[in-house]
């Protein structure tokens, strides 16, 4: 090989040796590697996407003031019977045709609408009725009186791979049936704590008006419903998020049957495990979801889950963080019995839990403790604390503990403890008052990392602190 290369070029270059020997070059190699052709795919799928137009009627106030009287100026010109004309707000989004005349879109596209119409690719306009909407997944199901529409094929979003080509169709800024393409950037993204969706992240151009439109793979299968973008300008910045079809189809099934969605519920307050907390709990790595509170009479409490347990697996699925646990629990059916693997004091245990049904309003208002002056304990770990004021335990959702009055620095500040936090547990020992707090801390070995449970504005949270 080397003699042939020397004969042709004088000097053999290892990086191109094989290609030159085969009569090829890097330039010709890349020239032959073409990008996907979306033209045929677009032509086939455009009829399966609709433009959704909504009208929301604002309540007319009749030109009357706060006292219910017609202002003098209006009375003079128009009389006592004057009524303001009805105000209407119009909005637009995108939708996907499913079988049997159903249309899938985002809940925020149609929420609060008094009139909903869809416009097909051939410009035909149909009236639509809302079957049901689900705020937590941001999905809504519509129905039109026409069963002979071009329905999409449903794909399996679990099979999507990062780097795979995908295509979106929608109505950005009113430009209906616009096609954009890109790749899957990531899977299982969590955008906030108030939804139950592991989003698909893409770099497909999505803008206002694309909401509710489809995300297709190269086989022309629906794999996602475009829902959100990350933007500092209000427009596309390379980060788009779609709801996986596997999540969406379960929501569709429930909306068809009941008009609403029921989700599994554990009855715990959880958060992520960081490196220091993992060290204090005897875990090899920061993974799972740590239980900061077990709600009274909830499924978790009845099934044996305790505060400071780290949930590692749920129903056969690995839990990498609190968001993945929330998504898996929400996707499970209420009443189902599941196996939950927890790490308790460094030992793994498997518990059987019968899931409850997520309450309609599972969130409680956070209450910030007030910092009224009272007797203070000696400074421990850079903290000055006092006992929880009488009558505040029910308000703050705790039984005992101490309120942080001052954070002077050191271990407490590095751990993230703040003034106003209520410390309820240190190293798996309950804190009853100032003396209890000082005693428990002084029992710990210097240099040891221990978990510390706080209540911050009504929400429990575990931190890890180094004893010094």
Distance CA(327)–CA(315), nearest Å, equals 12
Q: Active site includes 271?
A: no
* Contact by Cβ (8 Å): 303, 354: yes
* Contact by Cβ (8 Å): 347, 356: no
Query: Is the Cα dihedral 251, 257, 258, 264 positive or negative?
Result: negative
Where do the H-state alpha helices sit in 111-267? 245-258
With 0-12 / 13-18 / 19 or more C-beta atoms within 10 angstroms meaning exposed / middle / buried, residue 425 is buried
Strand partners, 229: 240
Distance CA(401)–CA(430), nearest Å, equals 8
- The contacts of residue 414 (CB under 8 Å, 6+ apart) are 465, 466
Distance CA(204)–CA(166), nearest Å, equals 8
Q: How many other C-beta atoms can be found within 10 angstroms of the C-beta atom of residue 132?
A: 20
Residue of 213, 203, 249 whose CA lies nearest to 92 = 213
Distance CA(174)–CA(90), nearest Å, equals 12
Active-site option among 185, 211, 227, 240: 211
C-alpha distance from residue 28 to each of 19, 24, 31, 34, 36 (Å): 10, 7, 5, 11, 18
Active-site option among 48, 94, 108, 280: 108
Count CA atoms closer than 13 A to 21's CA, side-chain side.
13
Q: Active site includes 211?
A: yes
The DSSP bridge pattern shows strands 310-314 and 214-216 to be unpaired
- The contacts of residue 464 (CB under 8 Å, 6+ apart) are 274, 276, 277, 279, 280, 415, 449, 450, 451, 452
With 0-12 / 13-18 / 19 or more C-beta atoms within 10 angstroms meaning exposed / middle / buried, residue 252 is buried
Kindly state the tokens that stand for 383. Answer: 């903290």
Q: How many other C-beta atoms can be found within 10 angstroms of the C-beta atom of residue 77?
A: 8
Q: Active site includes 127?
A: no
Q: For 296-323, give the secondary structure using H, E and C.
A: CCCHHHHHCCCCCCEEEEECCEECCCHH
Kindly state the tokens that stand for 291. Answer: 């239980």
* Contact by Cβ (8 Å): 408, 382: yes
Active-site option among 134, 138, 176, 272: 138
Which positions are annotated as active-site residues? 108, 138, 211
């Amino acid at each position: 090989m080397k003699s042939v290369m020397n004969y042709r070029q004088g000097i053999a270059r290892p990086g191109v040796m094989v290609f030159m020997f085969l009569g090829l070059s890097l330039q010709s190699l890349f020239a032959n590697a073409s990008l996907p052709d979306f033209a045929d795919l677009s032509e086939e799928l455009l009829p399966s996407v609709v433009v959704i137009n909504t009208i929301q009627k604002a309540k007319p106030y009749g030109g009357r003031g706060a006292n219910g009287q017609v202002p003098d100026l209006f009375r003079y010109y128009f009389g006592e019977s004057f009524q303001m004309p009805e105000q209407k707000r119009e909005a637009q989004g995108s939708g996907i045709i499913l079988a049997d005349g159903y249309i899938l879109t985002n809940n925020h596209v149609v929420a609060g609408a008094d009139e909903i119409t869809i416009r097909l690719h051939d410009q035909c306009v149909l009236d639509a009725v809302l079957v049901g909407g689900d705020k937590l997944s941001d999905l809504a199901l519509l129905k039109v009186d026409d069963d002979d529409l071009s329905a999409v094929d449903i794909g399996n979003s679990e099979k999507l791979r990062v780097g795979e080509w995908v295509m979106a169709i929608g109505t950005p800024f009113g430009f209906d049936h616009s096609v954009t393409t890109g790749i899957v950037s990531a899977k299982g993204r969590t955008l906030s704590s108030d939804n139950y969706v592991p989003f698909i992240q893409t770099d497909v151009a999505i803008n206002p008006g694309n909401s509710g439109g489809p995300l297709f793979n190269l086989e022309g299968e629906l794999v996602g419903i475009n829902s959100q973008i990350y933007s500092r300008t209000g427009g596309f910045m390379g980060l788009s998020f779609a709801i996986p079809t596997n999540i969406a189809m379960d929501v569709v099934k429930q909306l068809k049957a009941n008009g609403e969605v029921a989700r599994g519920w554990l009855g715990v307050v959880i958060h992520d495990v960081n490196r220091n907390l993992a060290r204090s709990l005897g875990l090899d790595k920061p993974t799972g979801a740590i239980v900061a509170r077990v709600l009274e009479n909830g499924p978790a409490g009845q099934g044996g889950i305790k505060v400071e347990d780290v949930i590692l697996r749920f129903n056969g699925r690995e839990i990498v963080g609190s968001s993945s646990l929330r998504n898996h629990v929400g996707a499970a059916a209420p009443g189902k019995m599941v196996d939950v693997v927890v790490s308790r004091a460094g030992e793994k245990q498997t518990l059987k839990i019968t899931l409850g049904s997520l309450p309609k309003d599972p969130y409680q208002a956070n209450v910030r403790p007030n910092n009224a002056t009272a007797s203070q304990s000696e400074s421990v770990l850079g903290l000055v604390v006092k006992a929880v004021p009488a009558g505040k335990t029910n308000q703050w959702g705790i039984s005992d503990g101490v309120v942080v009055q001052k954070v002077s620095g050191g271990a407490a500040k590095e751990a993230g403890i703040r003034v106003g936090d209520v410390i309820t547990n240190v190293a798996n020992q309950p804190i009853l008052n100032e003396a209890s707090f000082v005693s428990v801390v002084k029992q710990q070995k210097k240099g040891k990392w221990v978990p510390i449970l706080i209540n911050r504005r009504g929400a429990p949270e575990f931190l890890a602190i180094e004893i010094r």
